[in-house]
Structure 1
């Protein structure tokens, strides 16, 4: 496996693509871990009504946007991505809750 360079050290598109591919693998792996927390939430929550928590959804999106702002990533993009991520997580958690 070739060495993955920092973005600042990339001088070819092959190096950029290798870095993106490596990061995508890490991101998806981390999303898998995040979904296992949804498994735990579905196991722990006492009622189906507890699965959707709009206040918590807003908090998660706000937290992600704050990180984005701190690290210089477009906050609107992160808000959009996290809205979809949280909605997908809620749907997944409903499925897991209903399967118990």
Structure 2
């Protein structure tokens, strides 16, 4: 896991001005984009592996992902009022992307 020291940014509790805050946020956003790009590659793999379009959306898996995110959020001290809606949107967008990839490779 990437840490604040890995990114060479000021820790949130040590920030003394908005430039430091913005630098930290921008660095973390770059890391998040890279991670989401890798996650999207897994959606491409899922689209390649799943045998038919009907199994692209899996309600059990959606609930599993969200429950794991909530548990991890509680473990690390992230408010679930942030994490849950963000991940629900990420999951929905990922499913839509997976449908697009599935269709492109099959139809």
Q: Calculate the TM-score normalised by the size of structure 2.
A: 0.88
1:1-100 aligned within 5 A: 3-100=8-105
Query: Unpaired runs of 5+ in structure 2?
Result: 1-7
Cα offset, 1:76, TM superposition: 2.5
- Aligned residue pair count: 98
Q: Find the aligned partners of 1:76 and 1:17 in 2 and give their Cα distance.
A: 22
Instruction: Quote the RMSD (CA, aligned, Å).
Output: 0.8
Q: Find the aligned partners of 1:28 and 1:21 in 2 and give their Cα distance.
A: 11
Cα offset, 1:9, TM superposition: 1.5
Query: Unpaired runs of 5+ in structure 1?
Result: none
